[in-house]
Amino acid sequence: MWRVALCLAAAAPLPAQTPAAAVPRVRLVATGGTISNRTGGRLTAEELVKSMPGIERYAQAEFEQFTNVASSELTLDQWLGISKRLNELFRTDAGLAGLVVTSGTDTLEELAYFLDLTVRSEKPVVVVGSMRNPSTLGYEGAANLLDGFRVAASPAARNKGVLVVLNDEINSARDVTKTDAVRLQTFQTRGYGVLGVVDADRVVFHRDVVKRHTVRSEFDVASLTTLPRVDIIMVYQGADGDLIKAAADAGAKGIVIAAAGAGATSGTQREAENYAVKKGVVVVTTTRTGSGRIAPPRRGANAPPPARAGTLTPEEQGRFVAGEDLAPVKARVLLMLALTRTRDPADIQRIFSEY
């Protein structure tokens, strides 16, 4: 179990002509990542806040250190802990305008989407990171963090779910993905575009978020102590189905298939999918292409026969769920949470359609 060190900071002095009450209170919850990974020792939450020039013009900055590790080292139990902590802050401190969470960029989009589904507040939660570390020429972490605080302090950011802010751009946690291993403009929303931008004069939003999230979410992690196992298996030419069978045998409650094109499998994977559903595993089909929607199968008398019929019963055939337009890693997050509420594939399909 991790240890949470809470460090409350007094807001930086404000210009005499600006009353403190006019500037929103925003708190940083730091988890680590490249943004903190200075040579010789990681930056603390306090040091990150002090690195932002001019923050006093936009927000009264507070901070706490949740953990300080690479994003790939965060556990699912810690995901639950972060979500519970953010919910606690909003529940116990009505004066908070918003929250900023730092994360390593490698798995930032997964954590952000998990928070998008589990933080039950209309107030902004902004996840930020950096591609360069503090010891590197051109480190952009302080700029990204300042942008994150500005978005979290903006009334326009309310009711838009969890937001990801890097490189002066605002993206929805649901849709954003890391598209390049090293470039600064890596976080993009393919097909749909950014939600908004952080410009010198103000925070500007160009569109809204229509899928269910945050305060409208049905997922409540307050009583959860663990998340069900869900694995991701990729489709590739001549793939053997043994990995799917192994996941089912190892106790996976759900399997996400990163399929070729609009849902194709290869090799013996189709047979292995049938094996998994016979064991009660929910199988969600997504696409490995990076964009596009996997639609639920048509129902009714005029619908074509199921592609996976084979030896499956109608109940087993219904255990396949279409992942809609979610990336495989996002589908895994949603399926884990869906399985904490229901094992009914029809209800899980509803969840994938609504979120």
Catalytic amino acids?
34
Tell me the C-alpha distance between 30 and 45, whole Å: 6
Q: What is the 3-state secondary structure (H, E, C) of the chain?
A: CCCCECCCCCCCCCCCCCCHHHCCEEEEEEEECHHHCCCCCCCCHHHHHHCCCCHHHCCEEEEEEEEEECHHHCCHHHHHHHHHHHHHHHHHCCCEEEEEEECCCCCHHHHHHHHHHHCCCCCCEEEECCCCCCCCCCCCHHHHHHHHHHHHHCHHHCCCCEEEEECCEEEECCCCEECCCCCCCCEECCCCCCCEEECCCCEEECCCCCCCCHHHCCCCCCCCCCCCCEEEEECCCCCCCHHHHHHHHCCCCEEEEEEECCCECCCCHHHHHHHHHHCCCEEEEEECCCCCCECCCCCCCCCCCCCCCCCCCHHHHCCEEECECCCHHHHHHHHHHHHCCCCCHHHHHHHHHHC
- Residue 155: burial class (beta carbons within 10 Å; 0-12, 13-18, 19+): exposed
283 touches 252 (CB < 8 A):
no
Amino acid identity of residue 34, one-letter, is T
